Amino acid sequence: MGKLEITILGSGTSQGVPMIACSCEVCQSVNPKDKRLRSSILISHSGQNFVIDSGPDFRQQMLRENVQSLEAIIFTHEHKDHIAGMDDVRAFNYKQQRDMPVFCTEDVEKAIRNEFHYVFAENSYPGIPKIALNRISKDNSFEVSGLSFIPIEVMHYKMPVLGFRIGDFAYITDAKTVSDVEKKKLDGVKVLIVNALRREEHISHFNLQEALEFIASINPEQAYLTHISHLFGRHDDILDDLPPNVSVVYDGMKIVV
């Protein structure tokens, strides 16, 4: 399959870090690794780029990483911190002269059609984003420009969310529980990125203990924590509490698989 380069576009939770109007030590930290945009990754493979989730910081993330082309956007779920930036695919529409392929579940498609209703209007306004919707589900793998994705369903409280396995790499965000059937899809994964919101328990996200238990059950060579809240602590303090094969990502970090 060739190497994958994973770029962490954003590693923060829905409000990002720093959080508006917060004076905690994490939000006031001067360490750039404590500045976390909304969670998203860029996958680069054989000169092609793929993004999982386009949240409110999508434009800023594309500019920061100097992304010049984009093959597709793959969505995990329909919450605003994961879909809100989709309007900015317009730049890629113009440069690449094509509609942007979007891969999502039926529920995500409904949210996109609601949030970006003007994209689908009969008499469309000039300059709207052009997208080509492709339906996916937990039951079937799919290919995007020759790259194979295996969806893994996790539960975000009562909401189904898709993680994705690409070869020896897997990315899971907004998980609280994962069934044994879906977990089986992760057998043999070498590099795993998974959400860990904070140390205290949360109704819809793994906390640190749950994330570490999940990682131990998968047993990858290396695991990384993402979707970090300001309540978790500073980047360097989180690192101090992790086992040798687990780290915490930061915005702009690159991982080669």
The tens digit of pLDDT for each residue in 155-180 reads: 999 999 999 999 999 999 999 999 99
Q: Report all structural domains of the chain as residue ranges with CATH numbers, in order of start.
A: 5-245 (3.60.15.10)
What's the pLDDT score for residue 129? 93
Q: Taking the model in full, what pTM does it have?
A: 0.96
Residue 203: what pLDDT?
Answer: 95
Bridge partners of 223, per DSSP, are: 192, 246
Angle at 223 between CA 178 and CA 40, to 5 degrees: 75
pLDDT averaged over the chain?
A: 96
Q: Distances in Å between the alpha carbon of 107 and those of 7, 160, 161, 210?
A: 27, 9, 10, 27
Separation of alpha carbons 188 and 139, rounded Å = 19
Measured CA angle at 121 (ends 161, 56), to 5 deg:
40
Are 208 and 236 in contact by the 8 Å Cβ rule? The answer is: no
**DSSP letter, residue 12:** B
Low-confidence ranges of the chain (pLDDT < 70): none
* Per-residue pLDDT tens over the stretch 80-90: 999 999 999 99
pLDDT for position 122: 83
